[in-house]
Amino acid sequence: MNLYKINLPELMELYSVANTPNFIFNKFRANSSIRALSSTNSSDALIKNLDEILNLNKLQLQDATLAYAILTALSLNKDWPNFRNKLVEQPLNKLRWAEYLLQLSDIKNVITTTINPYKPQISSSNKFKGSNATNSKVTLMADNKL
């Protein structure tokens, strides 16, 4: 795992003052070093390193911070649904907010619809009949049953 880009002192400071899972999740997701951790490492490598940390007898501040950093980096991965179940197999009970972070990651990674502002979507109860387009204007025709 490439740790040279991670700003561990900054993350340890954030983790030390965190009082809710939302705080740590949002602050860590916004951190550029966690984004770099996510983009420069494979999900399998991150999970392997998380497993090594979680198998330590006792987690120190640095270990817990790194574990949360890895969880957050994994949540940024576009393949989150594909490896999410692998995380459940980890001994996450050593991390007080791990389950919350997984749930927040699930929510953040819900597939959403992208709206193209140059291709307006029609949201109306009116029945769409068609359109007429020229170079200068677009005319939409619909039944007016309001």
User: Coil, helix or strand for 31?
Assistant: coil
At residue 90, φ and ψ (nearest 5 deg) are -80, 150
Q: Which two tokens stand for residue 56?
A: 């330590």
**What is each CA distance from 84 to 94, 102, 105, in whole angstroms?**
18, 8, 9
Is it the case that residue 136 has pLDDT exceeding 70? no
At residue 139, φ and ψ (nearest 5 deg) are -115, 125
What is the percent of the chain where pLDDT is above 70? 66
Count of C-beta atoms within a 10 Å radius of residue 143: 11
> Strands 138-142 and 128-133, how do they pair?
antiparallel
| Domain layout of the chain by residue ranges | 8-108
Cα angle for residues 37, 40, 46 (degrees, 5° grid): 60
**Sorting pLDDT into bands at 50, 70 and 90, what band is 111?**
very low
Look-up of token digits 């790194």:
66
Average pLDDT (85-92) is: 71
Backbone CA torsion sign across 119, 129, 140, 123: negative
Lowest mean pLDDT among 47-51, 81-85, 111-115: 111-115
Is it the case that residue 140 has pLDDT exceeding 60? no
Is it the case that residue 123 has pLDDT exceeding 80? no
For 15-74, the pLDDT digits (tens) are 999 988 889 988 998 999 999 998 888 888 898 999 899 999 999 999 999 999 999 998
Query: Residue 20 carries which DSSP code?
Result: S
Query: Residue 143 carries which DSSP code?
Result: -
CB 104 within 8 A of CB 25: yes
Is it the case that residue 4 has pLDDT exceeding 90? no
Look-up of token digits 């940390």:
53
Instruction: Give the global pTM.
Output: 0.69
**CA pair distance 118, 111, nearest whole angstrom:** 21
